[in-house]
Structure 1
Amino acid sequence: MPMPTRYVRLRPVLLLLLALAITGCASIRNKFKDENKNEGLPVTELYDKAHGQMEKGSWSNARQTFGRLIAQYPYGPYTEQALIEQAYAEYKAGLHDDAISSIDRFIRTYPTHKNIAYLYYLRGLSNMQRNTVFLARAFKLDTSSRDLEAPHQAYNDFNLVITRYPNSRYTADARQRMVFLRNAFARAELNTGIYYLRRGAWVSAADRATYLLETYPQSEHQNDAVALLAEAYTRMGNTTLAADARRVLEQNDPQHPWLSGRKWPKGPGVVSKLNPFSGDLR
């Protein structure tokens, strides 16, 4: 008896689901198999195995092996080092939330450890990577769905490194990353102001420019903020404040594109002149 048409059509889908199920089961079996291989191994063998996996760039396997070491041998110098290296393996594997959890656990357990500066630095790196979407959008005119909590936490982590451990080997890099983040925060504020400018919200644009100048003084976008302020005041018809902003910009950045002397067009052209490094934002 011939098979109904609808069942014939379903057969490829069913076969695909069956293949996926078999693959998933195989992955689970392999995972338990690997864990069983680590079961009961001496602490030195587990550490050497995990360290070797890290040298090969096998971050996920190293993370699991370090995890087994920590579970089997919760105390001792190997455990302390395993906690540090497990956090690093998680960071390299892109498991930034797990890395931060491991780091926080270590800091709580060993607050005076000789490598504590490194842990704060690594937490900063992990927080910096947790929201790469923000770091991308900070350079575009997109004000939606921006979560600043992780990059601000990264800034605080790096600040801890340079204030508490000024002589550590991580201080110089932490300071550079703080400068980068600070400029990224300023740029995000600038783009928000441009967003308001494009939509005719002159007061909001001026407020955002003022906030940028007050919150992130000496950032690499301060002159752009002054240009935004001057344009917003010009659009509002406040000639006195617009002239003051223009004078400040002329003194600090006489080559800024806003000082071309031409009246800005409406729409995307305004953004291109004010924020020339941002590319085509249309």
Structure 2
Amino acid sequence: MLFKRADRSMAPAKRILLALSVATAPLLLSGCMSSEKDIDLSTYVDQTEPADVLYNQGLANLNAGRLAEASKKFAAVDRQHPYSEFARKSMVMGAFANYRQGNYEEAIGSAKRYLTLYPSTEDADYAMYIIGLCYFRQIRDVTQDQKEARQTVQTMQEVVTRWPDSEYVEDAKAKIRFANDQLAGKEMQIGRYYLERREYLAAIKRFRSVVETYSNTRHIEEALARLVEAYYAMGLTDEAQTAAAVLGQNYPDSQWYKDSYKLLQGGGLAPRENAGSWISKAGKLITG
């Protein structure tokens, strides 16, 4: 995103600072002789800074990599000039600055507030995209909970659905694919755990979820092969043969298919599809 600088000169702010320095000198001197607290000149000036000046300072800090300072400037615009055009812009830019710093909760909060106040503006897609990025950056290893992966899919799908022409759609789709792969990986991990414990029904439930919900992930081959293994162990040979047949149709050169074929062959069976099986129906949705 290109950051445009407002045209307003910063000279007025400098003149204000000079005038305040002169005007408040007697006050500061008398304050030293009284019990009252000294006037914080820098705070007073900050509170009277024009919105465009603060916004430009935020952009300058952002472009220079001074992210913490940028966040402060954008927050100051929102605080001092609420509901102004620069406050609206600062809200989403502040969310971006917090995202870059890894302050994900703050970034999500600011972006959600922006969407609540300005759901139809030109930067609404960017605000939603920032929320998705925050969730995406927090996705954990498949051995851990995948809450952030689910949130990534949900948020990025909103970007794709609500703003199909947005410049962020392609990357949103890529983030969805990665998050779905993580979710499928989690299902596979749990399924393998149950399979090793010979809890076949629980294992089948997990592998079926991968086949039906995450058919375009890299885990689909193993999921079908594990279904062959689990159904065969339970004596449900018709389902085992169907899973092997669907696996062979979609991935004929896969090592998973070779292993499944060998397993069936050891019991005098071969892959054979039952068109009425849920596996056969789900197999038609596999995109590879």
Compute the TM-score of the two structures, normalised by the length of structure 2: 0.70
Using a 3 Å threshold, how does the CA distance of structure 1 residues 161 and 84 change in structure 2: closer, same or farther?
same
* Gapped regions of structure 1 (runs ≥ 5): 1-31, 264-282
Q: Which residue of 2 aligns with 1:202?
A: 200
Do the aligned partners of 1:38 and 1:65 also contact (CA within 8 Å) in 2? no
DSSP 3-state at the match of 1:111: coil
Equivalent residue for 2:253, pick from 243, 252, 255: 255
Higher helix fraction (1 or 2): 1
Equivalent residue for 1:220, pick from 218, 221, 244: 218
Aligned residues: 222
Equivalent residue for 2:100, pick from 80, 87, 92: 92
Offset, 1:178: 1.6
* Gapped regions of structure 2 (runs ≥ 5): 1-39, 264-288
Q: Which residue of 1 aligns with 2:189?
A: 191
Offset, 1:154: 2.0
**After the TM superposition, which residues 1-282 of structure 1 pair with which residues of structure 2 at under 5 Å, given as runs?**
38-129=46-137, 131-133=138-140, 136-137=141-142, 142=143, 145-148=144-147, 150-258=148-256, 259-260=258-259
Offset, 1:262: 6.1
State which drifts further: 215-224 or 82-91: 215-224
Cα-to-partner distance string for 1:200-227 (whole Å, 9 max, x where unaligned): 2222111211122122233332221101
Cα-to-partner distance string for 1:78-98 (whole Å, 9 max, x where unaligned): 111111100000111111111
- Counterparts of 1:101 and 1:56 in 2: how far apart (Å)? 24
Letter of the aligned partner of 2:240 in structure 1? Answer: A
Letter of the aligned partner of 2:172 in structure 1? Answer: A
- Counterparts of 1:111 and 1:180 in 2: how far apart (Å)? 27
Letter of the aligned partner of 1:100 in structure 2? Answer: I
Do the aligned partners of 1:226 and 1:249 also contact (CA within 8 Å) in 2? yes
State which drifts further: 167-176 or 36-45: 36-45
Offset, 1:36: 7.1
DSSP 3-state at the match of 1:132: coil
